[in-house]
């Protein structure tokens, strides 16, 4: 809230509670509306065309666009059509995914109150909540959504549910002088108050601002960018070398431009974004069958590398429903007697959360049979208790339940009993339990203290097991809750999460000091957390190099969910939380997260193997073509052959999304040094084996140049498809898990199609079956040698990593293709 807001609100507060406050006049309200704007969330959105244009800007789109321009200049219309089609497909997929996920602010808006009751010109009236201004006097009653941040001034009592905003598991009691936040819901009582902040200045609005500020670039996007940059630099370097040689040789300009086109087309990983997106989309479908719906595809790759999981408590680790703890009956009274008396003092037709927990604790459905409630007095915020008159078997008595101090005052026990009750209340409070006192009148009409009923929000049955499983998978789990640290410690103890629970202000408060990271890393959980705290915890961990997951269900979780690398909205989450999240769980609890992590790591292995394959194949083709022209002044393949290779290689390789893949025991990340090393090694080996075929065809058999080009084309195609079998694991090609038939069949069918094209001369000179079978035999032999080369490269990398000094850092292992 701005200083001007505070000043205006204070000026308009009027008399003290109980006075004759008239609120604002309509003229004053109009002036303030013009000054502060409407009471709504402001969003800064980029238009559809602007968002679409971003997908045509970047290293890989630039490469595709340059190739398209060269194709048009040389009038290679078939090439141009294929290149533009892939460009628009990649842009369309990305645009659709972004549009689908970009709804967090809109759903936050829907939670705001639509109407508000305000006093204008001395008259109470209902107006649209968007027209409320600072200084307005508003009235809030049962069921109302608080329209703005309000300082309560009149009325005895108000209980508001602000769990979706602050994460507190229980309704909060408010009195005159307290603040009620915009977006919270009145559950009991009614009060009036002065608006202190509206729109983006409210607590709710600041949460929305955090959602807008939350920006992350996924490690997947960074990896694709690095791959694109690598191929761009290689292509530019080779084109420059060829251009200089062409000038020195006085080659025709048209031939040089044609080679630049061929080289550019060959270097573009046209299908790279599409293949990786399809791989993640298929993985998303599998996750959906496991009750986890993916709203942002790149989050799948992030989950594979996630090494810290920050989880909300209320509704995530716990059930978000009050439950009766172990009753503590007073001496001389039985457990069932205590619960029955409390149930008789509860409203059975429309129970609130407390009444519902007590009624659920009855030993049987017929426990209240035979009792008739003659009068019922609901909870009185002044007396802080509820009472009922009961009739049974011709006799009558009264029961009461409420705050322990109110029940003790009603019963007036002796000092020893009073001390014992106070000690029991303190003991339960230290465990984070809320306690109720229960009393009943005896035959003489005197009140007798029956005992205490502790209430708490219990953990889900599967939470402890899920936390243990996640930690075994290398994921550190930290709890973040708006509740008191006593409640947090109790739940953390039951879940075996650890007892180092830190109050958020001790980390981020004014006297906390500068370096917050060591305290965040050492903590098992955080208590009394507000949305900005969760946001800052996630960002601090990210800046330290961790891949962070965040679970939550409320509006208060939305900023952290969006900022996290993997935002996870649990079952029953609010619309705003689901919109900000990357993964939405449709089954209760967190058990599905362990299954999602396992599936994500399998998906990552598929993407990693394809990245190695694509780089190695592109490197092989670029270096082989360049060296052929520099050394032999010979074009080994034609432009049409390059386009055919791109189609026959990439389209079936999309089926890698369905391949069997290993599951890493620890978090995995893109290790671009390892990826480029393995890919370059396989690429260099492929160049050598390609020159072997070239030499045999041209020098040993003395075949014409067009036939040599067809033989080289077939070798590049067959060996290229075999490379995918090399890159899918670290060991020999027969190592489990074996390739899926969904990968094998398309690969072999396209190899057969390419073989027929070379044999019968489709778009090239025919070579016949004899030479085709010789090429196949050569490629199979090279394939076995390539497997040995790959394993040797991995051994060298592992040995080098073992010699390297171990440095502390995020608990993530290098990606194991």
Active centre residues (catalytic) = 312
CA distance 167 to 310: 14
**Residues pairing with 395 in the sheet:** 392
Q: Residue 565 belongs to what H/E stretch?
A: none
**Residues pairing with 236 in the sheet:** none
Residue 634 exposed, middle or buried by CB count within 10 Å (0-12, 13-18, 19+): middle
**Residues pairing with 387 in the sheet:** 377, 400
Task: DSSP letter for 734, please.
Answer: T
Instruction: Calculate the alpha carbon distances from 294 to 87, 172, 280, 297 in Å.
Output: 25, 34, 10, 6
CA distance 457 to 322: 5
CA distance 133 to 38: 8
Q: For 575-624, what is the HEC assignment? A: HHHHHHCCEEECCCCCHHHHHHHHHHHHHHHHHHHHHHHHHHHHHHHHHH
Q: Residue 567 belongs to what H/E stretch?
A: strand 566-569
CA distance 469 to 474: 9
User: Do 489 and 499 meet the contact criterion of CB atoms below 8 Å apart?
Assistant: yes
CA distance 621 to 690: 9
Unique residue bearing structure tokens 């006093």: 119
Q: Is 324 helix (H, G, I), strand (E, B) or coil?
A: strand
- Sign of torsion over alpha carbons 409, 410, 416, 420: negative
Structure tokens at 400: 């009461």
User: Do 764 and 709 meet the contact criterion of CB atoms below 8 Å apart?
Assistant: yes
Q: For 26-57, what is the HEC assignment? A: HHHHHHHHHHHCCCCCCCCCCCHHHHHHHHHC
Alpha helices in 654-810 (DSSP H): 672-695, 705-727, 741-760, 768-803
Instruction: Calculate the alpha carbon distances from 782 to 642, 682, 743, 744 in Å.
Output: 22, 11, 21, 19
CA angle 160, 382, 339 (to 5 degrees): 80
Task: DSSP letter for 202, please.
Answer: S
User: Do 567 and 222 meet the contact criterion of CB atoms below 8 Å apart?
Assistant: no
CA distance 586 to 570: 7
Alpha helices in 160-271 (DSSP H): 163-166, 203-213, 219-249, 253-267
Structure tokens at 32: 């303030």
Task: DSSP letter for 740, please.
Answer: P
CA angle 499, 324, 356 (to 5 degrees): 130
Instruction: Calculate the alpha carbon distances from 737 to 459, 600, 601, 656, 728 in Å.
Output: 38, 17, 14, 13, 10
**β 548-552/566-569 pair status:** parallel
Task: DSSP letter for 145, please.
Answer: B
Q: Residue 78 belongs to what H/E stretch?
A: helix 77-101
Residues 6 or more apart in contact with residue 9 via CB below 8 angstroms: 134, 135, 151, 194, 195, 196, 197
User: Do 225 and 253 meet the contact criterion of CB atoms below 8 Å apart?
Assistant: no
Burial 33-60 (b: 16+ CB within 10 A, else e): beebeebbbebeeeeeeeebeebeeebb
């Amino acid at each position: 809230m701005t200083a001007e807001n505070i000043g205006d609100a204070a000026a308009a507060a009027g008399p003290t509670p109980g006075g004759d406050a008239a609120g604002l006049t309509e003229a004053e309200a109009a002036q303030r509306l013009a000054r502060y704007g409407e009471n709504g969330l402001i969003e800064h959105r980029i238009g559809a065309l602007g968002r679409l244009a971003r997908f045509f800007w970047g290293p890989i789109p630039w490469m595709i666009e340059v190739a398209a321009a060269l194709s048009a200049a040389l009038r290679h219309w078939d090439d141009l059509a294929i290149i533009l089609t892939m460009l628009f497909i990649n842009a369309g997929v990305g645009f659709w995914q972004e549009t689908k996920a970009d709804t967090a602010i809109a759903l936050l808006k829907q939670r705001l109150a639509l109407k508000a009751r305000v006093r204008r010109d001395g008259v109470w009236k209902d107006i649209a909540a968007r027209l409320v201004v600072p200084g307005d006097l508003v009235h809030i009653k049962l069921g109302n959504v608080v329209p703005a941040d309000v300082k309560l001034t009149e009325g005895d009592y108000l209980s508001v549910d602000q769990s979706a905003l602050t994460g507190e598991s229980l309704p909060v009691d408010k009195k005159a002088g307290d603040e009620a936040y915009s977006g919270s819901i009145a559950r009991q009582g009614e009060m009036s108050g002065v608006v202190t902040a509206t729109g983006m200045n409210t607590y709710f609005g600041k949460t929305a601002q955090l959602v807008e500020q939350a920006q992350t670039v996924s490690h997947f996007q960074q990896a694709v960018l690095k791959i694109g940059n690598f191929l761009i630099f290689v292509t530019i370097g080779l084109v420059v070398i060829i251009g200089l040689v062409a000038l020195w040789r006085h080659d025709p300009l048209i031939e040089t431009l044609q080679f630049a086109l061929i080289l550019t087309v060959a270097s573009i990983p046209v299908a790279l974004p599409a293949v990786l997106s399809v791989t993640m989309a298929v993985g998303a479908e599998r996750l959906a069958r496991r009750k986890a719906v993916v709203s942002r595809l790149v989050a799948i790759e992030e989950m594979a590398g996630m090494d810290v999981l920050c989880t909300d408590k209320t509704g995530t680790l716990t059930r978000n429903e009050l439950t009766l703890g172990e009753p503590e009956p007073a001496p001389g009274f039985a457990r069932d007697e205590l619960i029955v008396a409390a149930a008789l003092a509860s409203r059975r037709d429309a129970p609130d959360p407390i009444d519902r927990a007590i009624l659920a604790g009855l030993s049987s459905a017929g426990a209240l049979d035979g009792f008739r409630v003659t009068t019922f007095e609901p909870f009185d915020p002044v007396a802080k208790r509820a009472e009922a008159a009961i009739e049974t078997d011709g006799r009558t008595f009264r029961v009461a339940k409420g705050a322990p101090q109110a029940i003790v005052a009603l019963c007036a026990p002796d000092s020893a009993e009073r001390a014992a009750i106070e000690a029991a209340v303190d003991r339960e409070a230290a465990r984070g339990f809320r306690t109720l006192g229960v009393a009943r009148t005896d035959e003489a009409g005197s009140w007798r203290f029956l005992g205490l009923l502790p209430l708490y929000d219990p953990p889900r049955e599967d939470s402890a097991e899920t936390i243990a499983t996640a930690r075994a998978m290398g994921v550190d789990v930290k709890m973040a809750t708006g509740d008191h640290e006593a409640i947090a410690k109790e739940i953390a103890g039951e879940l075996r999460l650890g007892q180092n629970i830190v109050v958020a202000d001790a980390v981020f408060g004014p006297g906390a000091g500068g370096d917050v990271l060591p305290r965040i890393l050492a903590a098992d959980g955080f208590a009394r957390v507000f949305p900005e705290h969760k946001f800052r915890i996630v960002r601090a961990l990210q800046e330290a190099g961790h891949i962070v997951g965040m679970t939550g269900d409320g509006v208060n979780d939305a900023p952290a969910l969006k900022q996290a690398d993997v935002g996870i909205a649990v079952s029953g989450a609010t619309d705003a939380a689901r919109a900000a999240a990357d993964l939405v769980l449709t089954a209760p609890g967190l058990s599905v997260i362990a299954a999602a992590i396992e599936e994500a790591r399998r998906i990552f292995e598929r993407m990693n193997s394809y990245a190695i394959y694509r780089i190695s194949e592109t490197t092989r083709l670029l270096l082989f073509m360049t060296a052929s022209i520099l050394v032999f002044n010979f074009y080994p393949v034609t432009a049409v052959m390059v386009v055919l290779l791109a189609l026959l290689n990439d389209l079936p390789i999309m089926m890698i999304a369905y391949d069997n893949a290993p599951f890493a025991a620890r978090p995995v990340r893109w290790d671009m040094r390892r990826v480029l090393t393995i890919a370059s090694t396989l690429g260099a080996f492929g160049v050598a084996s390609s020159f072997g075929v070239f030499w045999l065809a041209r020098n040993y058999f003395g075949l014409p140049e067009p036939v040599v080009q067809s033989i080289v084309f077939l070798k590049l195609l067959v060996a290229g498809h075999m490379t995918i079998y090399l890159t899918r694991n670290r060991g020999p090609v027969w190592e489990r898990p074996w390739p899926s038939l969904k990968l094998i069949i398309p690969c072999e069918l396209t190899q057969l199609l390419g073989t027929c094209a070379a044999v019968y001369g489709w778009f090239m000179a025919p070579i016949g079956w004899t030479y085709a079978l010789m090429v196949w035999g050569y490629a199979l032999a090279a394939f076995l040698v390539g497997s040995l080369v790959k394993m040797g490269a991995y051994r060298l990398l592992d040995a080098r990593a073992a010699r390297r000094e171990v440095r502390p850092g995020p608990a993530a292992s290098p990606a194991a293709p």
